[in-house]
Amino acid sequence: MSDLAKWKVHGPVKTLKSEFATWDQERQDWRPDRRITVASFEPAGSILSTDHHNPDGTIAHSRWFYDDAGRMLESNSWMNDQPMERIVYVYNENGSLMRATHLDSNGTRRDTEVCSYDPDGKKTKVQFLYQPEVDWECIAGNACAASINYAIEGTDIAFGAPGATTTTITYDERSLPAKVSFHDAHRQLFTYAILTRDRAGRLLSVERYQGETSPFQGYLDKAPAGATSAISCRAQGSSW
């Protein structure tokens, strides 16, 4: 699946500008906390750059670089004029990704993900979830660790997984994510998601489990019928 497809864009798109806003039902107006993302793609469909404009005026920048075979070699990220951080990617002799290593501005290296393959070529990827350092105090009633959400690869959703130190992603024979599991520091599984797809590989459902039940079942049972949030997404793009 190309990056264009992951962004739900079709055709020879060169740049895409997306604006997200939330409708305030009480005020009957859009809230001011708009977020704008500008992304660019190469002709083959791989992502080249993103610039996320936040409501507070900060801008998060990301850049990606590839070899002649289209494999990602490095990605860079930085906020405003802060020091750049890098991730470099290593492949085996068959061209399969084996490892991604993060290098911060001080030269510190740490693995962010490690991949393995079974005899049939199916991939398993382990991602290391390093907790970010914060310089503010957690006020009463605010569970800081619980506010961290992790994107579920192959979907548009993210899970809160306080205490998780690794994520294990198991892929199917089409190299699409089929199961995403979260483990703690003792390698104990405490939550996982099953991704169901149709024959064409299109995502049909994401089911989250904690033991044998969904951790959201209590909320679903109590939620009023038709409870929704109104969100608008506007996109502008230019093509090659």
Map out the domains of the chain as residue ranges: 1-79+223-240
Q: What is the pTM for the complete model shown?
A: 0.71
Q: What per-residue confidence (pLDDT) applies to 239?
A: 59
State the chain's mean pLDDT as an integer: 83
> Helix H segments across the chain?
3-6, 217-222
pLDDT band at 6 (very low <50, low <70, confident <90, very high): confident
For residue 153, what are the contacts with CB-CB under 8 A and spacing of at least 6?
Answer: 169, 177, 180
Lowest mean pLDDT among 93-97, 99-103, 137-141: 137-141
Q: Which residue has the higher pLDDT, 226 or 180?
A: 180
Q: What per-residue confidence (pLDDT) applies to 79?
A: 94
Q: Is the pLDDT of residue 84 over 90?
A: yes
Q: Is the pLDDT of residue 26 over 70?
A: yes
Q: Is the sign of the CA dihedral 166, 170, 174, 176 positive or negative?
A: negative
Q: Which residue has the higher pLDDT, 219 or 165?
A: 165
Structure token pair of residue 127: 């991602």
Q: Is the pLDDT of residue 11 over 80?
A: yes
Q: CA torsion 88→179→175→204, rounded to 10°?
A: -120
Q: What per-residue confidence (pLDDT) applies to 132?
A: 58
Measured distance CA(42)–CA(4) in Å, rounded: 10
For residue 17, what are the contacts with CB-CB under 8 A and spacing of at least 6?
Answer: 36, 37, 38, 39, 235, 236, 237
Half-sphere exposure of 64 (CA within 13 A, CB side): 17
Q: What is the mean pLDDT of residues 86-115?
A: 93
Q: Which residue has the higher pLDDT, 184 or 148?
A: 184
Angle at CA 236, nearest 5°, toward 231 and 240?
145
Q: What is the mean pLDDT of residues 206-217?
A: 64
Q: What per-residue confidence (pLDDT) applies to 133?
A: 53
Q: Is the pLDDT of residue 88 over 50?
A: yes
Q: What is the pLDDT of residues 46-55, one digit of tens each?
A: 999 999 999 9
Q: Is the sign of the CA dihedral 208, 209, 213, 219 positive or negative?
A: negative
Residue 73: helix, strand or coil by DSSP?
strand
CB 51 within 8 A of CB 35: no
Q: What per-residue confidence (pLDDT) applies to 169?
A: 96
Residue 6: helix, strand or coil by DSSP?
helix
pLDDT band at 224 (very low <50, low <70, confident <90, very high): low
Task: Tell me the sheet residues that pair with 177.
Answer: 171
CB 60 within 8 A of CB 77: yes
